[in-house]
A and B are shown apart, each in its own frame.
Chain A
Amino acid sequence: MRAPVSWLRELVEIPADQSGRDIAEHLVRAGLEVETVEAIGEGVIGALVVGHVVVVEELTEFKKPIRWCQVDVGSDHGGVRGIICGARNFAPGDRVVVALPGTVLPGGFTIAARETYGHTSDGMICSERELGLGENHDGIMVLPEDAGVIGADAAPIVGVGDEVLDIAVTPDRGYALSIRGIARELAFAYGVPFTDPGSVIVELPAPASGAAPAECGSDDLSACGLFTMRTVTGFDPSASSPHWMQRRLVACGMRPVSLAVDVTNYVMLELGQPLHAFDLDKLSGRVRAGWAPKGAHLETIDHVVRELGPDDLVIMDDSGIIGLAGVMGGLTSEIDNGTVNIALEAAHFSSGVIARASRRHRLSSEASRRFERGVDRELAPYASARAAELLLEFGGGTYIGMTAVEGEYQPTSIAIRAQEPAEVAGMPIDDAAVIRLLEAVGCGVAERDGSLMVEVPSWRPDLTDPADLVEEVVRLVGYDQLPSTLPTSALGHGLTQAQRIRRRVGIALAARGAIEVLTYPFVGDRELDALRVNDDDPCRARVRLANPLSDEQPLLRASLLPGLIAAGRRNIGRGNSDFAIFELGSVFRGVAGESVTRPSVERRPTDAEWVALSAMLPDQPCMVGSLLTGDRTPAGWWGPARPYDWSDAVEHAQVIAGVLGVSISVARGSDPSFHPGRCAALMIGDVQVGVAGELHPRVIEAMELPERACAMELNLDVCGDRAAVIRPAPAVSTHPVAKEDLALVVADSVPVSEVSASLAEGAGELLESVRLFDVYRGAQVAEGHRSLAFSLRFRAADRTLDAGEIQAARQAAIDSAARNCGAVLR
């Protein structure tokens, strides 16, 4: 809502020394967000005066017609001056705006007396654009006769020096979409009286006898509780709206159109009541609000044909639908430049009905914006009287009268304890102050024993609950008056295990050289196909958005890999191809369930309702994933580069295992996105919790990744459930260690992890650790076999081991490996 300061000052006596910024600060404190304060005609310095055109001489010897004018600018400014002017839209006797020599116009253009077209032009007759008032440059500005005396300061007349506040009105403050509403807030903010222009019906001429006003009605008084229609006939269609009205419309961001349209817009801006002017001669029969029949259509004045249904409240006459109620009028009954008889609709529509219509038709108009936020229920006849007054004043014509239908209206009453605002705010506000402040809002307040019965004014439909009244009181006291205190009874538990795990996993991977990314969860079939994800794979995204940003990516990720790959490619495209990136985040698995009935909001949902609501949601486990490409260690003085490989991906998983305090074992895995021979299944016990390894060459090719790119993905929720909550302390023996190295020949098909496990199992409890330190293939080892060299460390908790014990344990380990893995000691 744009509000010119000069207009606000007309309704409320703001102290003269207050600038637009000062006023804006007062409004902000009251809860109206002033986004900008603009000065009209900013850049005009010096005198603009009202001039009277005395003589106009047409100069015809030039390429374009030029006028040599004698303009009286008043004796204080040198009386009659000769001014050259190129515009033609004025005549002797007109009042114009003259910039005298020395005046600076916007853009730093200084007016000076200068020779032009054979005369000395001693000033300039100004157009709107030259004064920075608007875009109009069709001609100069011609002022109305009564605009001001000759030689008077023209700046206030044309609005130069005025300021406009642009206010972002929150959805609850419908009343602030009017000068009336903003002025009311200012009156309180400045502690000055306010005369409500919406409280008195302006006096209109007695309805003409003999003629009947247009009839109106409402089929549904709950959707349209008040419908009024005023009729004016014999209106002069050529009359235009007065200069000041046009100025204000422009300042408020609206375009002047015609007197009738301008008047409806002007009154809407002034009072907040949307109005609609029909061409009476295009109407047939009674005009009424009602529900549209199924399959109906309406071409609105924006030339869009709209399909209507039984949920649409429309305006109808005997010819059919002529408007979408409270949103936009129809084309057939629109006033035009020949309209002489006008029917002026002013009605009250339910905010919900209009909000639905606006949303359904994706049509937001000045009217719908006001109705969906709530319009003063009582305002319609006041506003239409004001509009009729202006139509009669500037367009002539005869007032025929008003018809109206009205449903029952009961002002809202709210009971509240007088001390409730003070209790909520946490500061003292005495009862008298509460009453005074509520009355300042416009409420009627009755007090009894500390309880207040508050009757809410018709222009504040947003005030429905005691909490709303609390807000009114506290904001009028001022949020800057609130004390700064602290609650005292918070007793926290610290982070949960899952929260600590997520933090530490992030720290551990980053400390390992990986970079965290936060990618969008949107994916498409194209990427999933490139990743070779099968249709029945849980990683195949199935949760679909109804309104995706891109049709290419309508699905929510079921795996972190697509996002990691997209981020990885972006880095590679920017010349950074050596990295490990990782992400911790939710994926979406399964599908979103069936819609269930929404629980009431008047009470806590039942357990069954809550279970049903939860069941609709897809599974959203927290995953951790990484993508590794290029060199882990670059070539340097220390030696050659060491590229990331499958083992680094598995190492990421083992780093996480260390954080969790779980043992993640590795088995040969298979995953369609991974290299079939270089894929590790990450296991906790018998449960696979993730996958790591080298990506499949086809994936690498389709995704245009560097060769041998690797990845890892782990379900952190499943891992977390198995994480140690309390880790038992180890017994650290101080007895000497016995080290035994041995080499075993095993078939290539036997995984190292199994050999290690067998050795450990056989060695028994004296074994402290087993570590593979060499893998050998070659002449002394049979084809299809490899030699694995292990270092075993034995230690007892309570004694020094003797040679016999060590030898026995070593042999038991070898026997176990031989038995389980076919290992042969070299």
Chain B
Amino acid sequence: MSGPNTTFDPKQVSVLSAEAVAAMVREASDAIAVAQDLASLKEVRIAHAGDRSPLALANREIGALPPAAKAEVGKRVGEARAAVKTALDDRQDALELERDERVLAEESIDVTLPVVRETVGGRHPLTTLMERVCDVFVAMGYDIAEGPEAEAEWVNFDALNVPRDHPVRTMQDTFYVTSQESGVVLRTQTSPIQIRAMLERPLPIYVVAPGRVFRTDELDATHTPVFHQVEGLAVDENITMGDLKGTLDHFAEAMFGQGIVTRLRPSYFPFTEPSAELDVQCFVCRGASVGNADRPCRTCGSEGWIEWGGCGMVNPRVLRAVGIDPERYRGFAFGMGIERTLMFRNGVTDMRDMVEGDVRFTRAFGLES
């Protein structure tokens, strides 16, 4: 780098004339304009804006000018260099953009290719349906109660007010463990969980009890020897049958949609008195198919109601058998078949689909039913 110019030489500074500087800028602009890719632009940048470029060399001469001329010439060269830099940067941006567009286009792939490399899993719809039922009741403040599948006959029958010689308790229905006199059966219903809940929990009791139950039916399109029920039980002071009705209405609405209600019909179960059959309003036609031959409903068979389960007020005899004072406490109980619910709710037409474990059936439900 040269020191301050003390010997003014007009010949030496001709490169700083306005014409000369403008010509440098013009040359640079022309070169920038013809650079077609980033590599040639880089060369242009070195040639016209690098340390050895004419403008850079010209810049060095400024120091040799007399102080009076420095400002003007300095400004001229500075502006020229800035103009070249701007032109280079703009061209750089343009070429980079062009490069990006071309490369990203080249890198494009078919994103509609199949992406799922591992087979998709699924939970059994009976499981998720039971969980859904339980969740409704858990939200209402119920606990989930459980009990063993191989159950004491006393719990499965006696304590539920099914006397030994009752027609309900026939050999045709029940699997006996070891022998018919062993006192151990495969539970025929989830109701024994009621007995366990009442024996083991403090009052008041609000429980919902899902579970697997067993009857000696051969498997066919509508029967299975192993199936699932969900049972509900509330024991409290001042529980009424209206509370049962209201609870079931709320449950039906949660399961099948707003405004869906239930209907109770008198019936008989040994462990409830009064007892009722539980129907739910058809959630598909909402009754519009009844007597309307033009709009038949497959879900309810154009009945408007679907048989769903059984319910009633806990028989005081059952309360006595578990040591709860029937003068002070009352209870209600209800239960329904999960297979049956899945059949009418999700349109399953053959019991065997729920039993056989065909992966195609369950996979269709994913993680929810």
Contact = CB atoms under 8 A, between A and B. Distances in A.
A36 interface: no
Interface stretch (A260-268, A351-359, A692-700, A748-756): A351-359
A610 B206 contact: no
A518 B117 contact: no
B121 A567 contact: no
A521 interface: yes
A636 B267 contact: no
B321 A518 contact: no
Interface string B128-160: 000100000010111110101111111100110
B225 A520 contact: yes
Contacts of A515: 121-122, 357, 359, 362-363
A506 B123 contact: yes
Contact of A171 (B168, B178, B360): B168
A547 B176 contact: yes
B3 interface: no
Contacts of B366: 510
Interface string B349-369: 000001111111011001100
B122 A516 contact: yes
Interface of B: 113-114, 117-124, 126-127, 131, 138, 140-144, 146, 148-155, 158-159, 161, 163, 165-168, 170-171, 175-184, 186, 199, 204, 206, 212, 216, 218, 225-226, 234, 236, 239-243, 245-247, 249-250, 261, 263-268, 273-277, 313, 315-317, 320-323, 330, 354-360, 362-363, 366-367
B243 A486 contact: yes
The B contact surface, by secondary structure, is mixed
A567 B357 contact: yes
Given A31-B267, A579-B359, A620-B150, A601 B121 contact: no
Contacts of A206: none
Interface string A636-651: 1110000000000000
Given A602-B320, A620-B150, A171 B274 contact: no
A467 B267 contact: no
A336 B156 CA distance: 47
B272 to A, nearest CB: 9
Given A490-B206, A637-B113, A510 B141 contact: no
Given A592-B182, A601-B158, A426 B241 contact: yes
A743 B19 CA distance: 71
Interface of A: 28-31, 33, 170-173, 351-352, 355-356, 359, 362, 372-373, 423-427, 465-468, 470-471, 474-475, 479-480, 482-487, 489-496, 499, 503, 506-507, 509-521, 543-549, 556, 567, 570-571, 574, 576, 578-581, 584-586, 588, 591-593, 595-596, 598-605, 610, 613-614, 616-618, 620, 632-634, 636-638
Contacts of A567: 356-357
A489 B114 CA distance: 53
A617 B152 contact: yes
Contacts of A514: 121
A484 B242 contact: yes
A604 B357 contact: no
B142 A470 contact: no
A465 B218 contact: no
Given A489-B236, A499-B144, A601-B320, 10 more contacts: A355-B166, A470-B274, A479-B265, A513-B118, A518-B127, A521-B149, A579-B119, A599-B158, A602-B320, A613-B152
B352 to A, nearest CB: 10
Nearest to A599: B154
B265 A482 contact: no
Nearest to A574: B358
Contacts of A475: 266, 274
B165 A356 contact: yes
B240 A485 contact: yes
Contacts of B263: 479-480
Given A355-B165, A482-B242, A485-B246, A603 B320 contact: yes
A571 B356 CA distance: 9
B184 A616 contact: yes
Given A29-B265, A496-B144, A571-B358, A617 B117 contact: no
B150 A576 contact: no
B266 A570 contact: no
Q: Of B141, B216, B323, which is in contact with the most chain A CB atoms at under 10 Å from its CB?
A: B141
13 contacts: A171-B167, A424-B240, A470-B273, A471-B273, A486-B243, A491-B206, A492-B143, A516-B123, A543-B177, A567-B356, A580-B119, A592-B150, A603-B320
Contacts of B276: 479
Contacts of B367: 507, 510-511
Contacts of A172: 268
A545 B315 contact: no
Given A489-B204, A549-B225, A592-B150, A518 B126 contact: yes
The 3 closest A-B pairs by CB, nearest first: A604-B323, A31-B266, A426-B240
